[in-house]
């Protein structure tokens, strides 16, 4: 019998340890365990989740100290070799715990609670001891095999495809198999039960209710709600035989509607040249990164589709990333209409169970294309031929929690692993990417014309200061009102865009000027009309709208500012006949809401689509001829060195929604600062002059892409402690980094208090600093060993998207 040791990374980031621990593999699992399997191992007083990252035959741990793995959770590894390597790289690249890097690659179902089941396929060769476990069932619990010591045999059966291992996600509302209650059909049994439970009032109540619902199958929640009893009452009634639990399967299909098939289009010359360059890299099996810079409507997506077709012809797989869930309905539809059942989707709008199902489809090779948001970059494909990031400049590609990775970096890492190309596509590439393309690090491909040879929309600027001078106090300029009127008359469609950040409504006292603030954060609360509540968008705190000022007790308190709801009301005042669809956080809460709204708009059920950031990108509707930007300024004044870049990108993106097909488009941008270069240049939608101008400013103030920045933040509940440790941190960094590095700080963070914690930061600017990562790792080690006990929390971000 061989002696086997597994190296396990355990989920104990709360203990702040970050190295593999050795565990003995129990003899019956020696032939089962593999690297990349999940296990349960004893750690301190508990059993914790762990990942097997190495298998060996020797250990330095003395035998009397060596513990055994308690349980094996996977028959087949959930993490491939590639992923284990990628986790090591991620850990270094982003300075995170290895466990965080491992977990980010898995759907949450495999991190959280789930139950594993074994499904029987029809096969006469199933050995008899296994048949005993199944009995007459098609499914058995994984644990039964473990208890019977049959794991090695089970593994063989999986390999021979006689059984399948599946996970049942037990999260409420997202279950694949749900527990239902079937009420007995015979009234006699119920009547008998009623007699027996004479004194149990609640039970009687339920039984009486059941008598009206004989033979029905309902969820336990629904029964309890309708009968007005608790679940324990239901259970005792079930014990009496009046009803029984049954399992019902729910098919989780994230695609809500059928799509018709489309054929590849005849490419324009520019598209053809781009596709050709990408094809050459694919044929040469070359890890090459392309920056596809194409104006809005230039047909980038068609290039992606045809490149992916080539990948599929080669028998390989493709990952297509889109920045936001709201983009996925239209994008997925385009992909599904080209590649049919080959496509999986992955984004935050799916339930836990759906995400797991999509992940499984990818892992088992049932699909070969995935369209998804950031985390889809970890799709468990094993033969990738192409990775695409559409709208590559978007900040959603950067994760803001540990591991703080950028999907673009992961894409490039994977492309090197698989020797395949990456396409970064955008009408307004991030400055970093364009600079790299100019240097030749990326290969630049340009689409300068719109695919259908439409001209770019004409952009007009409305100077809102001028409007005010002329006595127009409404939120619409005269020209925008006129433009809307004309569209309504011509029955053409419009998009009105409200830059929500910093623009939402707050409650203000007109006597003393107090703005109602979150008690936990230095942020004003946002007014939500539908619920009549004030909410903190950072910590989730909410309260009812106060009737009197908390500061001066005045009752002259009211909400200010412009949320989408307010805009909607204004539109109806001006144009009672207009049909408006609003798309914002409030109207897209329920599942599938994005799809529904966009589908309704596509079918012409509304004249105006009104929304926030969500509608800025990706929409492709032929009938849109007007785009109105209600306030271009809000994103311009954020305290962030990328504010101008973001504003330019946003304006160009929204403008690009207009006139994409045969009708010409018009854009009206309302602003209080028409002279700002980001707005002037957005008017001509000319990327390169903007790039040159912005690069000049970045160089002058030593910001990226000329310099790299890293951000270290700390927080504490006590302001003095936070300040003291911020000072220590800054001194320590100055003492340990070379004097080529600029350390700015400590300063208070842009939100100085969040969730009752005071926040300070140091910004590190550098060109070359080989020591940076080791130094930051030492800083973190010091923090984990000591500072954390003082109640300090620290985060390190090597590529902060805002500072």
Q: Where along the sequence are the contacts to ligand ADP (CB under 6 A)?
A: 265-268, 271, 294, 296-302, 451-452, 620, 660
Residue 514 interface partner, choices ligand ADP, Zn ion, none, CB cut-off 5-8 Å depending on type = Zn ion
**DSSP letter string, 415-467:** HHHHT--EEEEESS--HHHHHHHHHTSSEEEEE-S-TT-PPPPEEEEEEHHHH
> Should residue 539 be labelled a site residue for Zn ion when binding is judged by CB under 5 A?
yes
d(CA 542, CA 741): 43
DSSP 365: T
Residue 37 marked in a binding site? no
Report in angstroms how near the CB of residue 141 gets to ligand ADP at its nearest.
48
Among 552, 574, 697, 785, binds Zn ion (CB under 5 A): 552
Under the phi-then-psi rule, with left for phi > 0, alpha for psi from -120 to 50, and beta for the rest, what region is 135?
A: left
Stretch that binds Zn ion, among 160-168, 197-205, 504-512, 601-609 (CB under 5 A): 504-512
Helices 300-313 and 269-283, packing angle to 10 deg: 30
Stretch that binds Zn ion, among 36-44, 456-464, 514-522, 680-688 (CB under 5 A): 514-522
Report in angstroms how near the CB of residue 171 gets to ligand ADP at its nearest.
36
Cβ(67)–Cβ(24) below 8 Å = yes
**Which residues touch 714 (CB under 8 Å, ≥6 apart)?**
722, 725, 726, 729, 759, 760, 761, 787, 792, 793, 794, 795
Report in angstroms how near the CB of residue 286 gets to ligand ADP at its nearest.
24
Residue 512 marked in a binding site? yes
Angle made by CA atoms 135, 136, 138, in degrees to the nearest 5: 100
Report in angstroms how near the CB of residue 646 gets to Zn ion at its nearest.
24
Footprint (CB under 5 A) of Zn ion, residues 723-752: none
Tell me the HSE value of 294 on the side-chain side, using a 13 A CA sphere.
27
Residue 203 interface partner, choices Zn ion, ligand ADP, none, CB cut-off 5-8 Å depending on type = none
Residue 268 interface partner, choices ligand ADP, Zn ion, none, CB cut-off 5-8 Å depending on type = ligand ADP
Residue 518 marked in a binding site? yes
Report in angstroms how near the CB of residue 793 gets to Zn ion at its nearest.
16
Report in angstroms how near the CB of residue 717 gets to Zn ion at its nearest.
14
Among 162, 536, 567, 632, binds Zn ion (CB under 5 A): 536
Residue 217 interface partner, choices ligand ADP, Zn ion, none, CB cut-off 5-8 Å depending on type = none
> Side by side, which strands form the sheet with 708-716?
742-754, 757-766, 708-716, 793-797
**Termini Cα distance of the chain:** 57
Query: Between residues 267 and 475, which has the closer beta carbon with respect to ligand ADP?
Result: 267
Query: Between residues 359 and 758, which has the closer beta carbon with respect to Zn ion?
Result: 758
How many helices (H) and strands (E) in the chain? 24, 33
**What long-range pairs does 198-201 form, CB within 8 A, spacing at least 24?**
200/236
- What would the two tokens of residue 23 be? 């565990």
Query: Between residues 55 and 267, which has the closer beta carbon with respect to ligand ADP?
Result: 267
Residue 420 marked in a binding site? no
- Based on its alpha-carbon atoms, the radius of gyration of the chain, rounded to whole angstroms, reads 30
Binding pattern for the stretch 464-503 against Zn ion, x by CB under 5 A and - elsewhere: ----------------------------------------
- The b-or-e profile of 343-366 (16+ CB within 10 A means b, else e) is bbbbbebbbbbbbbbbbbbbbeee
> Should residue 514 be labelled a site residue for Zn ion when binding is judged by CB under 5 A?
yes
d(CA 496, CA 475): 12
Query: Between residues 93 and 271, which has the closer beta carbon with respect to ligand ADP?
Result: 271
Residue 451 interface partner, choices Zn ion, ligand ADP, none, CB cut-off 5-8 Å depending on type = ligand ADP
Residue 509 marked in a binding site? yes
Numbered residues of the known binding site: 509, 512, 518, 521, 536, 539, 549, 552
Residues that bind Zn ion (CB under 5 A): 509, 511-512, 514, 518, 520-521, 536, 538-539, 541, 549, 551-552, 554
């Amino acid at each position: 019998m061989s002696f086997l040791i597994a190296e396990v990374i355990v989920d104990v980031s709360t203990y702040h340890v970050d190295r593999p621990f050795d565990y003995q593999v129990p003899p019956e699992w020696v032939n089962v365990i593999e690297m990349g399997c999940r296990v349960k191992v004893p750690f301190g007083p508990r059993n914790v989740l762990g990942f097997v990252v190495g298998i060996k035959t020797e250990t330095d741990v003395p035998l009397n100290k060596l513990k055994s793995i308690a349980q094996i959770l996977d028959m087949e590894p959930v993490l491939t070799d590639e992923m284990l390597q990628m986790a090591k790289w991620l850990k270094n690249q982003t300075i995170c715990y290895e466990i965080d890097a491992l977990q980010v690659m898995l759907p949450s179902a495999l991190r959280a609670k789930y139950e594993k089941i074994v499904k029987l396929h029809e096969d006469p060769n199933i050995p008899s001891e296994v048949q005993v476990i199944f009995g007459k069932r098609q499914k058995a619990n994984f644990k039964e095999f473990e208890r019977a010591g049959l794991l090695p045999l089970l593994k063989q059966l999986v390999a021979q495809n006689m059984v399948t291992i599946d996970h049942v996600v037990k999260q409420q509302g997202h279950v694949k198999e749900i527990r239902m209650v079937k009420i007995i059909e015979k009234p006699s049994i119920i009547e008998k039960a009623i007699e027996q439970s004479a004194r149990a009032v609640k039970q009687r109540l339920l039984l009486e209710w059941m008598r009206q619902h004989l033979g029905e199958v309902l969820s336990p929640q629904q029964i309890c709600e309708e009968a007005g009893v608790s679940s324990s009452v239901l259970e005792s009634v079930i014990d009496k035989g009046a009803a029984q639990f049954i399992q019902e399967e729910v098919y989780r299909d994230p695609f809500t509607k059928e799509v018709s098939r489309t054929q590849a289009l005849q490419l324009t010359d520019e598209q053809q040249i781009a596709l050709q360059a990408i094809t050459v890299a694919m044929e040469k099996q070359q890890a090459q990164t392309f920056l596809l810079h194409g104006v809005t409507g230039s047909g980038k997506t068609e290039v992606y589709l045809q490149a992916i077709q080539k990948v599929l012809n080669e028998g390989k797989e493709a990952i297509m990333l889109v920045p936001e869930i709201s983009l996925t309905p239209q994008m997925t539809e385009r992909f599904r209409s080209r590649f049919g059942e080959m496509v999986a989707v992955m984004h935050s709008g799916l339930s836990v169970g759906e995400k797991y199902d999509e992940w499984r489809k990818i892992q088992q090779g049932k699909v070969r294309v995935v369209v998804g948001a950031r985390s889809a970059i970890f799709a468990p494909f094993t033969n990738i031929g192409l990775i695409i990031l559409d709208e590559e400049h978007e900040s959603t590609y950067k994760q803001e929690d540990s591991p703080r990775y950028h999907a673009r970096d992961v894409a490039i890492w994977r492309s090197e692993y698989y020797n395949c190309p990456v396409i970064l596509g955008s009408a307004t590439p991030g400055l970093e990417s364009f600079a790299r393309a100019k240097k030749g690090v990326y290969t630049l491909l340009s689409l300068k014309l719109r695919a259908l040879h439409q001209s770019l929309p004409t952009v007009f600027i409305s100077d809102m200061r001028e409007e005010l001078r002329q006595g127009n106090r409404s939120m619409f300029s005269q020209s925008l009102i006129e433009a809307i009127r004309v569209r309504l008359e011509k029955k053409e469609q419009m998009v009105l865009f409200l830059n929500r950040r910093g623009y939402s409504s707050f409650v203000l006292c007109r006597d003393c000027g107090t703005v109602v603030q979150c008690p936990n954060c230095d942020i004003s609360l946002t007014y939500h009309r539908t619920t009549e509540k004030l909410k903190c968008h950072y910590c989730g705190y909410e309260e009812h709208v106060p009737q009197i000022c908390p500061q001066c007790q005045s009752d002259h308190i009211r909400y200010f500012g412009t949320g989408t709801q307010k805009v909607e009301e204004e539109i109806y005042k001006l144009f009672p006949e207009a049909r408006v669809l609003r798309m914002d956080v409030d109207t897209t809460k329920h599942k599938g809401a994005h799809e529904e709204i966009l589908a309704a708009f596509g079918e012409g059920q509304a004249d105006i689509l009104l929304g926030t950031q969500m509608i800025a990108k990706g929409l492709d509707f032929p009938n849109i001829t007007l785009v109105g930007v209600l306030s271009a300024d809000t994103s311009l004044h954020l305290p962030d060195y990328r504010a101008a870049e973001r504003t330019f990108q946003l304006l160009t993106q929204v403008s690009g929604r207009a006139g994409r097909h045969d009708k010409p488009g018009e854009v009206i941008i309302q602003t209080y600062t028409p002279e700002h270069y980001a707005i002037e240049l957005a008017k001509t939608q000319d990327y390169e002059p903007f790039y040159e101008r912005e690069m000049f400013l970045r160089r002058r103030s030593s910001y990226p892409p000329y310099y790299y920045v890293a951000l270290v933040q700390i927080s504490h509940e006590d302001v003095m402690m936070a300040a003291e440790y911020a000072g220590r941190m800054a001194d320590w960094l100055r003492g340990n980094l070379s004097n080529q590095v600029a350390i700015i700080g400590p300063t208070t963070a842009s939100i100085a208090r969040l969730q009752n914690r005071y926040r300070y930061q140091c910004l590190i600017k550098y060109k070359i600093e080989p020591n940076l990562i080791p130094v930051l790792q030492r800083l973190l080690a010091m923090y984990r060993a000591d500072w954390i006990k003082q109640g300090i929390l620290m985060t390190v971000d090597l590529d902060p998207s805002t500072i």
